[in-house]
Structure 1
Amino acid sequence: MPDVLGRDRSVYAGKTTFVVGAGYSAANVLLDLAKLAEAEPDTSIAWVVRGSNLIRVFGGALADQLPARGELGADVKTLVDHGRVKLITGFRTTAVRTKGNGIMLEGETVTGLSQIGPADRVIVSTGQRPDLALTRELRVELDPWLESAKDLGPLIDPNLHSCGSVPPHGHRELAHPEPGFYTIGVKSYGRAPTFLLLTGYEQARSVAAAIAGDFAAADDLQLVLPETGVCSTRSAAFEVSSSSGCCGGPASAKAEACCVADAVAKQEGQDGRGCRVAA
């Protein structure tokens, strides 16, 4: 993310900037650009997104159990509603070209190929991925798509889970074949965009307990995540029967699992199985 209000101010002041992406990185950039535009009236902002549903960014506003996130989404929505940011939805960028001194974006829309611009600058906020150079010589196992810890991947798949529906997990899901090596924090999620600090705190506690040899404490996972705003499990397509509770009950491939062992068992058609057993 560029330092729009600081080091990079002169790059964006009085210019037309396109912000591409629909996540919180884009939201923060938009807010900074809007502040810049207050002091530099010739500054104009366009927000370009591939999809049309912005609920993940706008979130639950005052209903969000994470107030700062709710405020962030509400502030961005206000910018759009008041015309301070031009919102362009349904635009899948396929090419970036120059035209004179400006930048043009070519992309696919529901009506066919289209072109937007010119812009002076384009800020691409389309996600992140971990830098794996540090662990290249270690024996690590990663999810092939998310680049997260391998056993954690099925539990954080953003196609199935929001940040609030991720089951509690700890040292067992974060370990690698390299003895004593764990990936915790946002890097453990790889490319998944739904990491919460609350999750990271519990990861760190569990791993620290495991390293200390207290596996009873390491396996005693206790985590309550927000169920409102963009973390509402109502947005996930789960079909949970009343008899298929976590870590037990009849098998259900789409039942929410409380750990990797439980998820794998249910995917294989077996009964859910307990996961918090001390080593």
Structure 2
Amino acid sequence: MTSEDAHRSGFACFVGRPNAGKSTLTNRLVGTKVAITSSKPQTTRHAIRGIVHRPDAQLIIVDTPGLHRPRTLLGRRLNDLVYETWSEVDVVGLCVPADEKVGPGDRFIAEQLKKVARRTPVVGIVTKTDLVPKQQVAEQLLALQDVMDFAELIPVSAKDSFQVDELSDVLVSQMPEGPQLYPDGELTDEPESTLIAELIREAALEGVRDELPHSLAVTVEEMNPREGRDDLIDVHALIYVERSSQKAIVIGRGGERLREVGSQARRQIQALLGSKIYLDLHVKIAKDWQRDPKQLRKLGF
């Protein structure tokens, strides 16, 4: 086997401002939903790993939270998670959306990346190219080129799969030679309970006011097959908020909003588990949990 034919394996991570399209791109490359997506900033709170299987390579993509100026202890911990991930991967992709000008937030991240670029290649990725004309994509690539010295620059659209395979090639080319790190067919190493909690949070994020997303957290308290039924799984989960006014928003008038969240989450969880689900959802107040180290630990941060 020549060096060109050798099997490669390794880790890549996408970074960028909140809502730069990192999770959608991760899901498109993996071929299934492993990371939740939302138009709300700071949707991603864990480093979710998605596994791309190719005949010549295995690419593990780590989807990280958006790097931002933190206002809470949770925010600082999410940023720490991003920096920690950079130090452990083989290649970093800086995602900048095609429909927004390169701004101070992108430049701040690029400055941080320059510190790792000496030992870890950084690829510049212009995302969401389906939203703008080709000329604007070209201008964005030129603008991004001025931000730092990238190993490669590539425009992509996760929505219509434009250049997604090419991006996979670019990332794999930066990987070391090595064997498979995960078994065939495995698409993520996240526990099912984490993925389920994330799907519930995604459903709860839709249509809520801007101040609420940061205050939402979800834990799966219990998940068991129903006794005497092999076709039904009981899932008991808690949605945490910080104040009683937020609890009222999540529940909605006469519980209507919570039923909607449950129904949307149930469909996604059933698709994930391939089984019917009974979803029992309750909303609980954990006062100022984003600033409380003890509560953050309890909620998995």
Q: Would the TM-score normalized by the shorter structure come out above 0.5?
A: no
Normalising by structure 2, we get a TM-score of 0.29
Report which of the two has the higher share of strand.
Answer: 2
Larger Rg: 1 or 2? 1
